[in-house]
Amino acid sequence: MSETEETTGASYAAAGVDIEAGDRAVELMKEWVGKARRPEVMGGLGGFAGLFDASALKRYDRPLLASATDGVGTKVDIARRMGVHDTIGRDLVAMVMDDIVVCGAEPLFMTDYICVGKVRPERVAAIVKGIAEGCVLAGCALVGGETAEHPGLLGPDDFDVAGAGTGVVEADRVLGAERVREGDAVVAMASSGLHANGYSLVRHVLLERAGLALDARVAELGRTLGEELLEPTRIYSLDCLALTRTAEVHAFGHVTGGGLAANLARVIPDGLHATLDRSTWTPGPVFDLVGRMGGVARPELERTLNMGVGMVAVVAPESVDVALATLADRGVEAWVAGEITDRGDHATGAALTGDYAA
């Protein structure tokens, strides 16, 4: 082969994959990954696998590992359009670790997967920064991840994120439907906004149908539309664990896709029913904005968006006061939104009644 053929032949770089940019991204993210460590993490960034010292689980009589994986859906499109990449990672951690804590498990560690059309080191590092910050808020470690460059499949500015997490819970302390009893109270915890669900509907209504600009200031929101839509998902993991230490908690429900009633129904046993009173809270203005501008019926809104409630705890009635006090001390707005009843008709599930408070 001639020298000309060697210099003009196909290469990974010519195909669109920049190995040097990937290496620089790793260097930039090391600082943030280092902030999201736990004592059990062994080694540093750069290995083929993240290592976690499982001998820490010896303090459990019968440790059960809990795992979950998720992404943040089309909320990434808002981040891309705004050029803001250091918050979407917190959404990712919330989606994964708040699923894990529902069974009462303590979050231990997480890995991430970032797929981009073109590696821009600063952008990748910003995404990892958000993931690391989220891990700190959830009390878990970020032990590793992968950044993949997919030229030809994704545009240069396109990206997506996913993550997987692991937690641990003592076998006899697993929370869920089998613990829920008639008379239990449903304590609602306020969401920080839309969180990371329903963005296909939100984008269709606000950006496509209504034609609103992300940099437009919306009076009822008190900030720009983009700032509202990028508000990070609240991470409840440590709040929920604190609640299990002070109150008799029987179950948690993470309000994600499907809405409040559907997600709460997942932890209601056969023969019992959760009734929630809408008059106990007022959804934030963004929910009304989506409903009004899209002509979206309330049932559709409620099965798509969280309507202001991001997590619920089902607690014994005698634990209500201490549960509310614990959450208040942690800065989490919470209230009794309903109760668990036996309607006598073998109906199982959850339903909302009444109208939202003005």
How far apart (Å, rounded) are the C-alpha atoms in residues 135 and 142?
6
Cα separations (Å) of 50 from 43, 166, 193, 284? Answer: 8, 12, 33, 40
Identify the pLDDT of residue 40.
Answer: 73
How far apart (Å, rounded) are the C-alpha atoms in residues 311 and 237?
10
Contacts of 225 (CB under 8 A, 6+ apart): 206, 212, 213, 214, 215, 216, 217, 218
Identify the pLDDT of residue 147.
Answer: 87
Specify the DSSP class assigned to residue 268.
P
Spell out, as residue ranges, where the chain has pLDDT lower than 50: 1-5, 11
How far apart (Å, rounded) are the C-alpha atoms in residues 225 and 281?
23
Number of CB atoms found within 10 A of residue 178's CB: 10
Nearest C-alpha neighbor of 285 from the set 337, 223, 343: 223
Identify the pLDDT of residue 14.
Answer: 54
Identify the pLDDT of residue 41.
Answer: 74
Identify the pLDDT of residue 5.
Answer: 46
How far apart (Å, rounded) are the C-alpha atoms in residues 91 and 61?
33
Identify the pLDDT of residue 51.
Answer: 79
Identify the pLDDT of residue 201.
Answer: 97
Identify the pLDDT of residue 1.
Answer: 47
Cα separations (Å) of 276 from 48, 102, 134, 352, 355? Answer: 48, 19, 30, 5, 11
